[in-house]
Structure 1
Amino acid sequence: MTLFDSPASPSARRLRAGVFLCVGALSLIGLSGCTADAAPGASGSASAAATGGSSSSATASATATSTPTPTPTPAGTAVAMSCTDLLTLDDVYAFNPNFGSDPSYKPTSASAKTAASFQGLTCGLLNQSSDGTIEISLTQPNAVLMTQQQDKAVASSKIVPTYGTPPTAQGFFTVSNGIGEAQVFTDTYWLTISSSNFLEPGDAESLVSAALGHLK
């Protein structure tokens, strides 16, 4: 009787120890499971945040660098002068009394056509006795157009110091296909005067000087 009911028997002690070990093991497994479940969530959030931030930065950078820079283009401002402002009747008479305004004038020279296409002033004078003509143009170009025309003048014409003193005015003269053309560049304007009557720079000098005197 005493052998089976004793609480301190070896069999009872082994049974209690086994129960405690089992409960402890289950507790550890439960705790480990909780920790493992939390880690993937935190890692996923960090990864998503990092990926999202990188994508936004790349998009912003692409947008900032994709805007093209406008290319400067040749242009002109309308000239606020008339033909008689540029060369008065007295100026023309002093040059040659036979010349007067050409009522049927249309731009024919390359310079006059360029001036007309950039809001420039174009004028024509007609010799009443010989039908000879003089063509005048005045353009107020932007920096791009001014540089283009100056480069052409330097390449195809000779510098004429008597048309003006650089940098205030820079003069050129050339004869092409029997037409002599004087050109003058100021800080603001591009002036051209051409005629078959101009064979050398001095032939146009009085008209060039008169026109430059009226420029503001």
Structure 2
Amino acid sequence: MTDTRVYPLFTRTAARAARLSARRQAGLVLAGGALFSLVLSGCATDDTPIPTNSAAATSGASADPTTSAVPSSSPTPTPEATGSPIAQTCGDLLTLQDVYEFNPNYGTAPDYSPTADGLATIAQTYNGLSCGWSNQTSGELVEVSVVAPNDVLMTTLKQQADADSQPVPTYGTPPTVDGFFTDAGGNGQAQVFTETYWVTLSTPAFGEPGDAEGLMSSVLGHLG
């Protein structure tokens, strides 16, 4: 006859063993899942590219630009007012016949020197030619001067003549010839500007612009 009390004990033992086995399997599954997640996480960390801050890189590259050399500029010097030497002589400007036609009493003045405050003195400052003819009776002088000014001097002289003198159209046709006349303390002064020359005539014998027309025409004719 079989002992039936063994079965309940066996049954309980088998059930306990089954529960322990199930727990072990569950633990292994959880541990395996955690390990797998860790592996995946490590792979993602190693393989994911780290973005580059391109704006910062660009800013850093341009923060130290190459300094280009700034060319030094020297101020342009102002041209000096001057005149070219005159090739003509006093005899070329006015011949003895020219002077005689103006007044037969005038002749050469061997000891001539320009009047201290006259236009002839200014002419000599700028490489000009100054000449004088003397009244053989009174000693009055007719002073003639010619300058070949550069643009700077020509502009300055014209502005001065325009400010101090009256225009005279009968000395030539403007703008080829610009004429001026003034009375400076009893001394008549006639001025003419051509494209090349500044011509002046000064004498107490010039009481008005027309008195200088004959001599001025002769000088301009000889200059060409």
Q: TM-score normalised by the shorter chain: which range applies?
A: 0.7 to 0.9
* Cα distance in structure 1, aligned partners of 2:62 and 2:145: 67
Q: What TM-score do the two structures reach when normalised by structure 1?
A: 0.74
In the other structure, the counterpart of 1:39 is 53
Q: Distance in 2 between matches of 1:26 and 1:150?
A: 96
SS in 1 for 2:53: helix
Q: Structure 1: which amino acid aligns with 2:87?
A: A
Question: Which residue identity lines up with residue 134 of structure 2 in the other structure?
Answer: L
Determine if contact 1:92/1:100 at 8 Å carries over to the other structure. no
SS at match of 1:130: coil
Query: Residues 29 and 168 from structure 1, CA distance in 2 versus in 1: closer, same or farther, beyond 3 angstroms?
Result: same
Match of 1:48 among 58, 61, 76: 61
For residue 88 of structure 2, what is the aligned residue in structure 1?
81
Do the aligned residues in 2 keep the contact of 1:120 with 1:140 (CA within 8 Å)?
yes
1:107–1:122 Cα contact (<8 Å) kept: no
Cα deviation, 1:72-127, whole Å, max 9, x if unaligned, reads 66443333322222222332233334320443413534533332233222222233
Verify: 1:169 aligned to 2:177, yes or no: yes
Letter of the 2:61 counterpart: A
Change (3 A) 1:48 1:211: same
- In the alignment, the residues of structure 1 paired with residue 103 and residue 34 of structure 2 have an alpha-carbon distance, to the nearest angstrom, of 133
Q: 1:13 to 1:203 in 2, by over 3 A?
A: same
Q: 1:83 is matched by which residue type in structure 2? A: C
Q: Deviations over 1:139-171 (max 9, x none)?
A: 222334323322332332223333222233222
Q: Residue in 1 aligned with 2:100?
A: 93
Structure that is richer in helix per residue: 1
**2:213 matched to which residue of 1?**
205
Per-residue deviation, 1:45: 3.9
Residue of structure 2 aligned with 1:15, choices 31, 51, 64: 31
Is residue 102–residue 126 contact of structure 1 (8 Å, CA) maintained in 2?
Answer: no
Q: Which residue number in structure 2 is paired with residue 194 of structure 1?
A: 202
1:32-66: CA deviation from partner (whole Å, max 9, x where unpaired): 5x524x436x733455348737x65xx76xx59x6
Distance in 2 between residues matched to 1:103 and 1:138, nearest whole Å: 19
Do structure 1's residue 124 and structure 2's residue 138 form an aligned pair? no
Q: Note the C-alpha offset of 1:2.
A: 9.7
Task: Give how far 1:189 is off.
Answer: 1.5
Question: How far, CA to CA, are the matches of 2:40 and 2:118 in structure 1?
Answer: 103
Amino acid at match of 1:153: A
CA distance, structure 1, for counterparts of residue 115 and residue 46 of structure 2: 98
Q: Does the aligned pair in 1 maintain the 2:114–2:120 contact within 8 Å?
A: no
Question: The residue matched to 1:112 in structure 2 has which SS?
Answer: helix
Residue of structure 1 in register with 2:8 after alignment: none
Larger Rg: 2
Q: Runs in 1 of length 4+ with deviation above 4 angstroms?
A: 1-6, 66-73
User: In the comparison of the two structures, how many residue pairs are matched?
Assistant: 206
Aligned partners of 1:188 and 1:18: how far apart in 2? Answer: 108
Q: Which residue of 2 aligns with 1:146?
A: 154
Q: Is the 8 A contact 2:112 2:131 kept in 1?
A: no
- TM-score by structure 2 length? 0.72
- Check whether the contact 2:119–2:202 (CA below 8 A) recurs between aligned residues: no
- Structure 1 unaligned blocks of 5 or more: none
Shift of 1:207: 1.3
Distance 1:137 1:156 in 2: 18
Cα distance, 1:3–1:103 mapped onto 2, change above 3 Å: farther
